[in-house]
Amino acid sequence: MTIQKVLVIGAGQMGSGIAQVCAQAGFDVKLNDMKEEFFQRGLTTITKNLSRNVEKGRMTEDEKEQVLSRITKSLDLNDASDVDLVIEAAVENMEIKQSIFKQLDEITPKHAILASNTSSLPITEIAAATNRPEQVIGMHFMNPVPVMKLVEIIRGLATTDEVYTSIEEMTKKLNKVPVEVNDFPGFVSNRILMPMINEAIYTLYEGVATKEAIDDVMKLGMNHPMGPLQLADFIGLDTCLYIMEILHDGFGDSKYRPCPLLRKYVKAGWLGKKTGRGFYEYE
């Protein structure tokens, strides 16, 4: 199946990044969000990213304008009526995602593939909201999307080989590296990453070392570019807690129990970089 027209749902950090790489690869992209201001904020981010590429000599001003010309505004899900692929990057909530996919199933052409950028929710459960579960798949991009090479491609229970192959080929056109993953809570990336972050928080909670010391051990001893506590701040502590709860619920294993200190910070509104305070303080 040939993919040319793409609708991306959600103009936030992930959605705008996905729209950018799709447009850069030559796809016609509709960037959808609920409000004009959300779309404009996403477009501003894309424009800044592309301008930086021009400054660094990675693309010309003309190429930048061509990329931007391939991105059009969408404030209505009915704009999905003529696309080949939808990539949903809305909030990480099963009810919201199922509602979106139920609508998309009715709006999109019969051949269209419906993909979710979920970082942890089961693709099979999302697909169950549609009458085409065989055409539903996970495309978990990494943040920041324009920079990070990996895309976890997650098969639902019913996803066909043909749909998987189409998405794998498209991912390569985006200059990304597709990795096939089966549908388990947290997939591969977050099933390994989040317990590590959670254990770092326990290490702080139990007074084993200071936050700076914990991060230094992982940076200098394990060659991680960023310490786990600082990384948690960048991801968002609410997101970390949510994914740990999905792992805990999904596997029923106490090793995934979220650290009480993580819960306390989230309840305090200390969500990390986006709120100015998490394990560290930000200007």
pLDDT, residue 158, reads 97
- Region of 57 on the Ramachandran plot (φ > 0 left; ψ -120 to 50 alpha; else beta): left
Write down the mean pLDDT value for the chain. 97
Q: From the candidates 32, 74, 120, 140, which is the catalytic residue?
A: 140
> To the nearest whole percent, how much of the chain has pLDDT over 90?
98
Residues, the chain, total? 283
Is 4 annotated in some ligand binding site? no
From 16, 32, 74, 190, active-site residue: 190
Task: Indicate the pLDDT class of residue 253, thresholds 50, 70 and 90.
Answer: very high
Grouping H, G, I as helix, E, B as strand and the rest as coil, residue 170 is helix
Q: Residue 241 pLDDT > 90, yes or no?
A: yes
Burial of 128 (0-12, 13-18, 19+ CB in 10 A): middle
Task: Give the span between the Cα atoms of 17 and 43, in whole angstroms.
Answer: 10
Q: How far is CA 156 from CA 41, 126, 159, 178, 180, in A?
A: 32, 9, 5, 16, 11
Span 174-202, pLDDT tens digits: 999 999 999 999 999 999 999 999 999 99
Active site residue 190: yes
Q: Which domains does the chain have, with CATH numbers?
A: 5-182 (3.40.50.720), 190-275 (1.10.1040.10)
pLDDT, residue 251, reads 95
pLDDT for residue 1 is more than 90: no
Tell me whether residue 63 is annotated as binding: no
Q: Is 103 annotated as a binding residue?
A: no
Q: Give the mean pLDDT of 235-252.
A: 95
Exactly one of 119, 120, 166, 198 is catalytic; which is it? 119
State the pLDDT at residue 283: 84
Query: What confidence tens digit (pLDDT) does each residue in 217-229 have?
Result: 999 999 999 999 9
Is pLDDT above 90 for 63?
yes
- 111 as an active site residue: the answer is no
Instruction: Report whether pLDDT(34) > 90.
Output: yes
Distance CA 203, CA 226 (A): 17
- Could you tell me which of 2, 27, 43, 52 has the C-alpha nearest to residue 175? 27
Q: What is the pLDDT of residues 200-218, one digit of tens each?
A: 999 999 999 999 999 999 9
* Structure tokens that stand for 204 in this block: 């702080």
C-alpha atoms less than 13 angstroms from C-alpha of 238 in its C-beta half-sphere: 13
Q: How far apart are the first and last CA of the chain?
A: 48
- pLDDT tens digits, residue range 138-177? 999 998 999 999 999 999 999 999 999 999 999 999 999 9
Read off the pLDDT band of 250 (50, 70, 90).
very high
Question: Was 11 annotated as part of a binding site?
Answer: yes
- Number of helices (H), then strands (E), belonging to the chain: the values are 12, 8
CA distance 9 to 90: 6
Q: What is the pLDDT of residue 201?
A: 98
Can you tell me the mean pLDDT for 35-63?
96
The residue from 32, 49, 88, 152 that is catalytic is 152
Reported pTM: 0.92
| CA distances, 274 to each of 10, 89, 270 (Å) | 18, 18, 9
Interatomic CA distance for residues 276 and 233, integer angstroms? 9
274 is in an annotated binding site: yes
The question of whether 61 is a catalytic residue gets the answer no
Predicted confidence (pLDDT) per residue in 85-132, tens digit = 999 999 999 999 999 999 999 999 999 999 999 999 999 999 999 999
Determine whether 119 is an active site residue. yes
